[in-house]
Structure 1
Amino acid sequence: MVNWQYLIEEMYDHASDDAEPMAKYQRNQFPFLGIKSQTRRDIFKPYLKEAKAEAKLRFMENPNQAIIDWAFVDEFWSFSEREFQYIVCDYLKEMKKYLQPDDLPRLKTLIVQKSWWDSVDALVKTIGYLVHKNPDLKSEMAAWSSSDNIWLKRTSMIHQLGMKGQTDTILLAETCENCLHTDEFFINKGMGWILRDYAKTNQNWVENFLKNHESDLSNLTWREATKYFYLEKNQI
C-alpha cells in the first residue's frame, strides 16, 4: 500500500514563501503551501509510480474490482492547501483507465466542492475520457449543462476538449445551448474555448452554430470561438 502519510509530510516540508503570491494568483480562493507545479510533480512521482504499479497488479488479479483509491482522493481533497487538490487531479489523470461508470458521481463531487477554474479544468479531460469510453454517461453531461452550478455547466461543454473528429456534435450543441443567456464569465469563456477547439476540426460546424445562435451568444464567447478565423458578429 502506498503510504500517503509520507507524502503529506513531504508536501508540508516543501512549503515556501511562494504561498502568498500563488494564492493571490487564484484570487485568494484557497491557501497554498507555495509548491510550484514541477516541484509538486517531482515530489509526487515516486508515490504515483507505486500507486500505478499496485493498480496494475490488482487489475490483473480482477479487472472488475474497484482500482481507484477513493479514500486517498477524499482525504487529499479535504485539505485546505490547494496543492493537495492538484495532487488528486494528477492522480486521477494518470489512473483514468481504471475509472468505472459509477465513479462519475464521485468526480461530480470534486467538481462542485472546492470549485475554481484550476481544479475544474484539471479534471475535465479525465471526465471526458470516462464519458467517451462509456457513452451512456453522455446523458449526465446533458443534465449537468442544465444545472444551476456554473462549474457543472462549464464541465459539460469542455469535457470534449481534444476529441477532434470523435466529438459528439449533438451533445456539444445541446450542452452549449443549455448554457446560453448568462453573463457568467466562466460559462461564456468555457463555451468559447470548446467551440474554438472544435473549429480546428470542423470550422463550418462552428460557424453555423455561431450564426444560428448569434443573438444569444456573449461577445466573450464569440471572441474566443473565432480566435483563429474571422466571423463578424452583429451587435444586436
Structure 2
Amino acid sequence: MDLLTELSNATNSEKAQQMEKYMRDQFPFFGIPAPERKKIFQAYMKTIDSITIDWDFVEGCWKKEQREWQYIAIDYLIRLKKQLIISDIPRLKQLITTKSWWDTVDGLDELLGYLALQNPEVEKLMLDWSQDENIWVRRVAINHQLLRKNRTNTILLKQILCNNLNDTEFFINKAIGWSLRDYSKTNPEWVRQFIQTHKEHMAPLSIREASKYI
C-alpha cells in the first residue's frame, strides 16, 4: 500500500483551506478529515511489520509537507508506544521541537507520559523539561500526566506547575489550566488548594480552565 497515493487520492481542496486557516496558515494540508485519515492509516498498518518502531518512517513523515503526514507519524508511535524505550526520548524531543504547534505537541505528550509512567527515572527529565527555554517542551512536561487519575504524581505535578507560574505565554497558561482541570476530576480538593495557594501567580486563563469542574 502506497501511503502517498492513498493520501493524494483523498485530497479535498476545500477542507484543506479550512484546515490551513484553522492552523493560522502555518502548514499545508491534504484536507483529509481525521476519521478518513485514520482509516487510511489503519489499512496501511495491516500491510507492514509493526513489531518494532521504524524511525526512518516516522522521521520521513515529519519531513513531508502536508500536516497529515505528521498526524500519521503520531498515530504510528501511539500504536507502537509499548515498544518505546528511554533512549527514544531525544528522537521524541526532536519531533516536539520541529514544525511545532499544539496539534502535534499534544499528540506527543501521551508518549512521554507513557514512558514516565513505566520508567520513574523519566520524571526527573520531565522536571528539567518544565524549565526548558522551548515552550512546547515545557507544555509536554506540564501535560504529560493527563488522564492518570489516581496514578498522578502530585508532588511532581506541583513542582512542574510552579516552575511555570507567572508566565505570559498563552500555550503554557492553557496547559496549566488543562492539567489542573483534568486532575480536578479525581481530586478536586487538591486543585482547589493549589489555586488558592498560587492564584496571585496564575494567569486568569489558567484559573478559568482549572476551575471548570470544581
TM-score of the superposed pair, with normalisation by structure 1: 0.87
* Residue 118 of structure 2 is aligned to residue 133 of structure 1: yes
Q: CA deviation at 1:49?
A: 2.8
Equivalent-residue separation in structure 2 for 1:108 and 1:49 (angstroms): 28
Q: Say which one has the larger Rg.
A: 1
Within 5 Å, give how 1:3-42 maps onto structure 2: 6-17=2-13, 18-42=15-39
Deviations 1:150-187 (A, max 9, x none): 11111101110000000011110111111111111110
Distance (whole Å) between structure 2 residues aligned to residue 80 and residue 190 of structure 1: 27
* Separation in structure 2 between the aligned mates of residue 127 and residue 95 of structure 1, nearest angstrom: 13
Find the counterpart in structure 1 of residue 156 from structure 2. 171
Once residues 137 and 8 of structure 1 are traced to their aligned partners in structure 2, the CA distance between those partners, rounded to angstroms, is 36
Distance, in Å, in 1 between the alignment partners of 2:47 and 2:83 is 15
Tell me, yes or no, if structure 1 residue 226 matches structure 2 residue 211.
yes
State the aligned residue count.
213
What displacement does 1:204 show? 1.3
CA distance in structure 2 between the aligned counterparts of 1:228 and 1:100, rounded to whole angstroms: 35
Q: How far has the Cα of 1:123 moved from its partner?
A: 1.4
1:43 aligns with 40
- Measured in 2, the distance between the counterparts of 1:199 and 1:50 equals 42
Aligned pairs for 1:37-186 within 5 A: 37-51=34-48, 54-56=49-51, 67-186=52-171
Amino acid at match of 1:219: P
Give the counterpart letter for 1:55 in structure 2.
S
Alignment root-mean-square deviation, CA: 1.1
Task: Give the one of 205, 210, 226 matched to 2:195.
Answer: 210
Q: Distance in 2 between matches of 1:81 and 1:129?
A: 27
Instruction: Give every structure 1 segment of 4 or more consecutive aligned residues whose post-TM-superposition deviation is greater than 6 Å.
Output: none
How much does 1:133 deviate? 0.6
3-state secondary structure, aligned to 2:132: coil
Q: Provide the TM-score with structure 2 as the length reference.
A: 0.96
Alpha-carbon deviation of 1:98?
A: 0.6
Once the two structures are aligned, what percentage of the paired residues are identical? 46
Distance in 1, Cα, partners of 2:115 & 2:76: 15
Q: Distance in 2 between matches of 1:25 and 1:164?
A: 31
Q: Which runs of 5+ in 1 are unaligned?
A: 57-66, 230-236
- CA shift for structure 1 position 20: 0.9
| Deviation for aligned residue 1:55 | 3.3
Output one character per residue of 1:15-58: Cα deviation in whole Å (capped at 9) or x when no partner: 1111111100111110101111111111111222344xx234xx
